[in-house]
Chains A and B, each alone.
Chain A
Amino acid sequence: MRPIANTRDVTGVPTGRLAIWWVIGSEIVIFGGLLASYLMYRLANPGWAGHAAHTNVVAGGFNTFVLLTSSLFAVLAHQAAEAGNGKKAAKLLIATTVGGLIFLTVKGFEWTHEIQLGYTITANTFWSFYYTAAGLHACHVIAGMIVMLIVAAKARRGVDLHHVELIGIYWHFVDVVWIFLFPLLYIAK
């Protein structure tokens, strides 16, 4: 492993990992604000249960399964990287990325069907929240996939293996956000 800046340890946490936790902290405020807003509108408006009934629980549940499984691959990649096995870590990171791709594909079919039925982002406030929250989450999935492929390419060559853990922490957070989005948007009818 190369002695680069983000492996320094001043606070008891390597700087790179500390930076990721700060990213997570800012993401908590971003998603937290959005979900808190959704929650207060939802509680004030029982009629939204009727809109939520049109979301596809099977698709949402399958996507939760996909994200949980991709999180498993991400943490196994971290374990492999820690053991110095960059090639295995790279393979597991690619498997994680495939999980993200499956998630986005299902989301694409789901949204296409909903838009065809007239449930667009401007249909009403519920669908505005639905597309904004799920869309923002999907953007995070895409960003994570891009970074993960870069980290995987480097890990394959045995370079910067500590980055595997950092992208993993981010990916798990994206998973945690979906864990809350799923019941809020799909389950609560």
Chain B
Amino acid sequence: MEQLTKKQHLELYRYLRLTRALEDWIFYICANQNPQKPLIIGKGYLSTGQEATSIGAAYALEKEDWIAQSHRDFGALLIRGLTPRELLLQYFSKETGPTKGRDANVHLGHTGKHVLGFISHMGAMVPVANGVAFAMKYKKKKACILAFFGDGASSQGIVHEAMNYAAVFKLPVVFICNNNRWAISTPLEEQMAIKNVADRGASYGMPGVICDGNKVEEVYQTVLKAVRLAKKGGGPTLVECKTMRMSGHGTHDRAKYVSDQEIASWKKKDPIMHHEKLLKKLGYADEAYFKKIIAEVKSEVEEATQWAKNQADPSIQNQLEDVFARS
């Protein structure tokens, strides 16, 4: 098993903290902004409490790799090199943001940073990830793509099509199911008659593996193995990361349908708490270090907000541009 170095452990900690800080901030703005003159257009879709899945998985990638992210993958986007500034431009729907203010919140893509453009239809990007993977093979690149989706999206026919397809062509894609137990208000038990999404891997002829989605090092190690297999030409793997959505589907949803007991039991498994314990146990960091990182990421997010909110809003002058590529 791949052991993480101290530097990597600390870097993962910073990503966990930065993602949490950024999303807490988004939550705060959504809760407190003037609805008549909102800073954030639309709602926030947060990964709070399940950051380790996105971060651990994306950390297993190299520069030439790609991701097809889902709703709760700001951690992965930060690892791919999108900055808090860019992500806030997207939330504020600014002209200089990744979608030029034409789309907002988590519906973004960034080709230069190898991030596909997410859409709202659940599971829709999974077959698109196959296309990137196919092109990598076609161009003889030793690279792979992570296709993220949730337990809810796993019920979509297109996800089954895509997994079968990827297995048939042995595409270098790793399917990451962040099983956070809830599809908006529908619990897992009402979504599928099986316990593990990973069990479906066998039916496509690919390994299906399960890991604790709240342990960043475990997600990393599990995904890294799948990434290496994919890059060796061994085909896709379905990795199911067991986690819990600790917020509503969006910032408008107070998730009253989730019991207090369920929340309380998962709070004890908070991925940041877990990682702090691990860092202390390994002797890599102490409380003072954590405080320092918390302060750093907080000021990074605040600075990004101040900067992003002063950027230009989209103009109707350019509204008709780009429906088609000119050349």
**A is bound by B:** no
